[in-house]
């Protein structure tokens, strides 16, 4: 979807303001918002693409005005409601309201330690040969799906070059809608700044993205 999250190339947000000696979390609750997002992931309550889709589906004014972890907490609430983990009454009350179903097994510290350390790759066996090879010119499709996608708007319709064949990876467009992992070939595609931003832009800038095969076409 063309959401507020897709902000590459937008103007008006002002300068980047780095913070000296920035703490990992600015408030205690931010650490908890973060940890809750991780544990719900470990518990496999939903997949990461579905979570991203929910987050970017918020109305743009709300998305753009929430703080970073505020956005996570808001998304967690919505996911818990959608996946039947909590009711609106429970979120309002701040605790479980009987009768409720106990989870089959709780995520433990050992599970989390495992998640932090061990690889959980997104690569999958290839269903067939890759359509493009390194050096091929490709056009990012001009597509505007209503579902989750990871093809930024600023690249759509533009011609780039395959810089690398990454492998065959879980396809977010399908995964986010719980339609399965539907793995596709993934490429690093390199675009010239001129192609993306026009003749007046800096001639020495290039932008690379990862694009799944269904995002690309022969120019």
Partner 1 sequence: MAYDQHDHDRLELSETQLRVRALETVLTEKGYVDPAALDLLIETYETKVGPHNGARVVAKAWTDPAYRARLFKEATSAIAELGFAGRQGEHIVALENTPKRHNMVVCTLCSCYPWPVLGLPPVWYKSAPYRSRAVADPRGVLKDFGITLPKDTEIRVWDSTSEIRYLVVPMRPPGTEGWNEDKLAELVTRDSMIGAGLPKSPKDVK
Partner 2 sequence: MNGGQDIGGMDGFGPVQPEPNEPVFHSQWEKRAFALTLAAGVAGGWNIDMSRFARENRPPNEYLTMSYYQIWFAALEAMLKERALVSDDEIAVGQTLKAPKPVSCILKADDVARVLYHGDPTERETKTKPAFKAGDRVRAKMMNPVTHTRLPRYVRGHLGTIDRVIGCHVFPDSNAAGAGENPQWLYTVRFDGGELWGADADPSVTVSVDAWEPYLLPT
Partner 3 sequence: MTHAHNHGHDFHHEHGSELSEMQLRTLAIETILLEKGYIEQAAIDELIETYEKKIGPRNGAQVVAKAWVDPKFRKWLLEDGTAAIGSLGFGGRSGNHLVALENTPLLHNMVVCTLCSCYPWAVLGLPPLWYKSAPYRSRAVADPRGVLKDFGIELPKDTEIRVWDSTAELRYMVVPMRPAGTEGWSEEKLADLVTRDSMIGTGFPKSPKYLK
Q: Which residues 54-93 are close enough to bind partner 2 by CB under 8 A? A: 56-61, 63-65
- Among the listed ranges 67-75, 104-112, 121-129, 189-197, the one in contact with partner 2 (CB under 8 A) is 189-197
User: What tokens does 151 get?
Assistant: 């093809």
Whole-number Å distance between alpha carbons of 36 and 42: 10
- Interaction between residue 137 and partner 2 (CB under 8 A): no
- Interaction between residue 12 and partner 1 (CB under 8 A): no
Residue 128 contact partner, candidates partner 1, partner 2, partner 3, none, CB within 5 to 8 A by sort of partner: none
Whole-number Å distance between alpha carbons of 127 and 138: 21
Residue 1 contact partner, candidates partner 1, partner 3, partner 2, none, CB within 5 to 8 A by sort of partner: partner 2
Q: Which helix (H) or strand (E) holds 194?
A: helix 193-197
Contact 124, 169 (CB under 8 A): yes
- Interaction between residue 50 and partner 3 (CB under 8 A): no
- Interaction between residue 182 and partner 3 (CB under 8 A): no
Burial class (CB in 10 A: 0-12, 13-18, 19+), 133: exposed
Provide the 8-state DSSP code for 153. G
Residue 57 contact partner, candidates partner 2, partner 1, partner 3, none, CB within 5 to 8 A by sort of partner: partner 2
137-140 vs 159-169, strand pairing mode: antiparallel
- Among the listed ranges 32-40, 43-51, 56-64, 184-192, the one in contact with partner 1 (CB under 8 A) is 56-64
- Interaction between residue 144 and partner 1 (CB under 8 A): yes
- Interaction between residue 78 and partner 3 (CB under 8 A): no
How many other C-beta atoms are found inside a 10 Å radius of the C-beta of residue 147? 13
Number of residues forming the site for partner 2 (CB under 8 A) = 35
Chain positions 139 to 158 lying near partner 3, rule: CB under 8 A, are 150-152, 154
User: What tokens does 87 get?
Assistant: 């009711």
- Interaction between residue 41 and partner 1 (CB under 8 A): no
- Interaction between residue 91 and partner 1 (CB under 8 A): yes
Q: Which helix (H) or strand (E) holds 78?
A: helix 68-82
What lies within 8 Å, CB to CB, of 183 at 6+ separation is 124, 125, 126, 127, 168, 169, 170, 171
Chain positions 59 to 88 lying near partner 1, rule: CB under 8 A, are 60-62, 66, 74, 77
- Interaction between residue 3 and partner 2 (CB under 8 A): yes
Whole-number Å distance between alpha carbons of 184 and 174: 10
Binding site residues, partner 2, CB under 8 A: 1-4, 7, 9-14, 56-61, 63-65, 141-146, 157-158, 195-201
């Amino acid at each position: 979807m063309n959401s507020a999250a897709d902000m590459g190339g937008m103007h008006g947000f002002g300068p980047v303001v780095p913070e000296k000696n920035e703490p990992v979390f600015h408030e205690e609750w931010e650490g908890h918002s973060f940890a809750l997002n991780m544990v719900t992931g470990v518990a496999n309550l939903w997949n990461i693409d579905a979570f991203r889709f929910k987050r970017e589906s918020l109305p743009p004014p709300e998305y753009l005005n929430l703080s970073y972890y505020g956005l996570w907490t808001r998304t967690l609430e919505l996911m818990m409601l959608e996946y039947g983990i909590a009711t609106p009454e429970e979120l309002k009350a701040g605790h479980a309201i009987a009768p409720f179903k106990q989870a089959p097994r709780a995520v433990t510290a050992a599970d989390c330690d495992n998640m932090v350390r061990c690889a959980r790759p997104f690569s999958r066996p290839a269903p067939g040969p890759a359509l493009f090879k390194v050096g091929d010119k490709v056009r990012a499709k001009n597509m505007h799906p209503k579902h989750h996608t990871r093809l930024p708007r600023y690249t759509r319709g533009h011609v780039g070059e395959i810089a690398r064949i990454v492998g065959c990876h879980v396809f977010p467009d399908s995964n986010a809608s719980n339609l399965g992992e539907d793995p596709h070939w993934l490429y690093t595609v390199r675009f010239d700044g001129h192609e993306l931003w026009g003749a007046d832009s800096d001639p020495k800038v290039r932008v690379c993205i990862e694009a799944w095969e269904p995002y690309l076409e022969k120019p």
